[in-house]
Structure 1
Amino acid sequence: MHVEHLSLSDFRSYPAAEVELGPGATTLVGDNGQGKTNVVEALGYLATLGSHRVATDAALVRAGAERAVVRGRVRRGGRTALVELEITPGRANRARVNKAPVRPREVLGLLRTVLFAPEDLAVVKGEPDQRRRFVDDLLVALQPRTAGVRADYERVVRQRSALLRSGRGLRGSAAAGVESTLEVWDAQLAQLGADLLAARLDTLEQLAPYAEAAYGAVSGVPGALTTRYRPRGLHPQVRSADAGSLPDPPRERAELRDALLAAAAAARRAELDRGTTLVGPHRDDVDLLVNAMPARGYASHGESWSAALALRLGSFDLLTETGGEDGEPVLVLDDVFAELDARRRGHLAERALRAEQVLVTAAVAEDVPPGLAGRVLRVERDLATGTSTVAAA
């Protein structure tokens, strides 16, 4: 799998850009703030319908423009697909495949990417939502249909929490009405939550051996990285300090659904008091252990980088193994070589050279290991207008 051409219109700092790509390595070089990451962010948006940098789409549209358009020609096996996304803040985005309108969610799976960026340190050292997002993004790449489950679950949590807020302080028949309605939402939360939980557990189980092997290769310490799903949403009464001793969750969907229903019943009074949903996989975490110790808080800076890199390389290997005739995902390395020591830099370059297509961004061309630079594109930004351009170096 590779992208042959990327077209941008009013995306970030680009009024318009036509970027010729192809198999092998392409490096985008330019000083910080010129717009290199904007290009690979657009590519990632085509693959995931989201940005690795911001949570909402508004920032993706160039200042003063009404909408942005990202278009990519993707080669998959012996087929080519033209994928187009129109991003309009405040309105539903629109999508086309080979110029035919489709629902945006239908483009998922047409392009698969694995992006390694400095922000990945937050997966290792940051808050639980960073690790949940990492797992959810990977499971959608593996099973695009789960994007619908994820979106429906998030909608139920928002609406259920709104109902809980409306029930705070109510008494008598009004309170009884809220609790009766909550039982309906509990059933939806439990069913969708069980589906999401089961998909996460399956994804993490598939990833674990690849990530462990990648960590051993990157760090030279085999078997040092382990992962464990921590189901806090099944045990809302357990304090954060005690969450490390939580039992493993059940694996069958019916058991997960029943466990979520029981947890919702047990947490009813606390949820009404706090006006928010305390039960469900949106409360869970993933333990990353390096040498049997939590990476968050105990891992050194080098160990944290190794863990972050191992998660992405493990994802790349897993997606490659399951890609079938579509082949490997596109590997994107966004401004990471300057952050890595010689050992990690060399290993990443060696792995990247085996990818069908790799895109690299760097402020300094010399930061990119020899042999990986491939075709070099220069990115520049006009300070007067704030607009960026891409051209062959």
Structure 2
Amino acid sequence: MFLEFINVKHFRNYVQTAIDLNPSVNVFIGENAQGKTNLLEAIYVLAMAKSHRTPHDKELIQWGENYAKIEGRVSKNSGSIPLELTLSKKGKKAKANHLEKKRLSQYIGLCNVVMFSPEDLQLVKGSPGLRRRFLDMEIGQIQPIYLHSLAQYQKTLLQRNALLKQTNRKAPSVLALIEILTEQLVELAGEIIARRNRFIRDLREWANQIHRSITNDHEELSIQYRSSVGEVSDETDLSRIKKEMLSAFNQVFDKEIERGLTLVGPHRDDLQFYVNEKNVQTFGSQGQQRTTALSLKLAEIELIANEVGEYPLLLLDDVLSELDDQRQTHLIGTFKERVQTIVTTTSVSGIGQEMLKDARSFYVKDGSVASVKD
């Protein structure tokens, strides 16, 4: 699949701009703080109905305006699909084929994207929250129902935490409500953990193949999902996960009452990465950590293609200059002519000539975009 064009209005620092995109490679060049990343963010928001940079949609709307609108048309094996997303104080309105979708789960997944930014190089050694977000966003676009379960879980979690924080949280009536919410959390947590585990199982296979290729078969990469119920194996079934989750809640309940906080659940889970059976987060070199992050992103592309039957869009936000020549070669060469790639950079000197060959280039300044060449 590829995005034929992108139109943005009142989005971040863009008043209005329309860009026709190359099905292969597109390069946006400009100094920092001119709007390059905002363009990639607009494409990401059009596909995912949410930003990868902020959870607050109001930050996406240009200062002084009441709404922001993003339009595009994605070309797929089944044909072209016009997409439109409008953000306002009243919420989001998503349209596909000019028809409004009542639920975002009906919209997300029509255009698949993989974003790779400098922050993703922190995916391995950064906070657990970064890795959970990685899981949630990527599973969500190939299984939109996952996002619904996750939203319900987060809503229930907030309600349970609110009760745990109440001064009368030990009152029988409050304890009864907490018990009801605990049962609801267990059901939702079971679904989330099971889906995450299946995703990691598939990602692990692709990531190890790619990692071995990058390291000339010198390194083996393994990914482990660490959940609140301990290590979850590929064979762990849903009923067992729920049973162990309920047991975990019972074990920590006194501590939760004392601290006023839910202490177990998918919101506290994490990923661990092992290179040649050593924890790369703790013992890996910076090169190994970056190679692991790159392997994850490349594996993500293959996994989505395997799931939906088409390669997703690849968005590279000023990341090539952060990679050495060997890693650049793998990032570019692996998917050349198969994946529409959209790149931002401050200088073309940070991009290999192979990437620039047949690319469409644009210059970005002060929220305006000009084509450098066709």
Per the normalisation by structure 1, the TM-score is 0.90
Residue 278 of structure 1: SS of its match in structure 2?
coil
Cα deviations across residues 288-337 of structure 1 (Å, max 9, x unaligned)? 1223222223222211111111100000011112222xx11111111111
Partner of 1:350 in structure 2? 333
Q: How many residues align?
A: 368
Partner of 1:143 in structure 2? 143
Q: Do the aligned residues in 1 keep the contact of 2:67 with 2:86 (CA within 8 Å)?
A: yes
Cα deviations across residues 61-110 of structure 1 (Å, max 9, x unaligned)? 11222221111111111311111111124x32111112222133321110
User: Counterparts in 2 of 1:260-299, with a 5 A limit?
Assistant: 260-299=245-284
- For residue 226 of structure 1, the aligned residue among 207, 216, 222 is 222
Amino acid at match of 2:161: S
* CA distance in structure 2 between the partners assigned to 1:272 and 1:308 by the alignment: 38
Partner of 2:318 in structure 1? 335
Could you tell me how far 1:349 is from its partner in structure 2?
Answer: 1.6
* CA distance in structure 2 between the partners assigned to 1:169 and 1:19 by the alignment: 58
* CA distance in structure 2 between the partners assigned to 1:291 and 1:35 by the alignment: 41
- For residue 350 of structure 2, the aligned residue among 364, 367, 375 is 367
| CA root-mean-square deviation | 1.6
Amino acid at match of 1:162: A
Q: Do the aligned residues in 2 keep the contact of 1:131 with 1:286 (CA within 8 Å)?
A: yes
Report percent identity of matched pairs.
Answer: 31
User: Which consecutive unaligned segments of at least 5 residues does structure 1 have?
Assistant: 235-245, 382-387
* CA distance in structure 2 between the partners assigned to 1:116 and 1:170 by the alignment: 44
Q: Do the aligned residues in 1 keep the contact of 2:85 with 2:94 (CA within 8 Å)?
A: yes
* CA distance in structure 2 between the partners assigned to 1:279 and 1:56 by the alignment: 26
Partner of 1:239 in structure 2? none
Could you tell me how far 1:123 is from its partner in structure 2?
Answer: 1.2
* CA distance in structure 2 between the partners assigned to 1:156 and 1:332 by the alignment: 34
Amino acid at match of 2:369: V
Residue 355 of structure 2: SS of its match in structure 1?
coil
Could you tell me how far 1:222 is from its partner in structure 2?
Answer: 4.4
Residue 353 of structure 2: SS of its match in structure 1?
coil
Cα deviations across residues 211-251 of structure 1 (Å, max 9, x unaligned)? 111112223344422100111x23xxxxxxxxxxx444672
User: Counterparts in 2 of 1:1-393, with a 5 A limit?
Assistant: 1-89=1-89, 91-102=90-101, 103-166=103-166, 168=167, 170-171=169-170, 175-231=171-227, 233-234=228-229, 246-248=230-232, 251-324=236-309, 327-373=310-356, 374-381=359-366, 388-393=367-372
Q: Do the aligned residues in 1 keep the contact of 2:169 with 2:175 (CA within 8 Å)?
A: no
* CA distance in structure 2 between the partners assigned to 1:303 and 1:287 by the alignment: 14
User: Which consecutive unaligned segments of at least 5 residues does structure 2 have?
Assistant: none
* CA distance in structure 2 between the partners assigned to 1:82 and 1:276 by the alignment: 44
Range 66-75 or range 306-315, more displaced: 66-75
Q: Do the aligned residues in 2 keep the contact of 1:6 with 1:71 (CA within 8 Å)?
A: yes
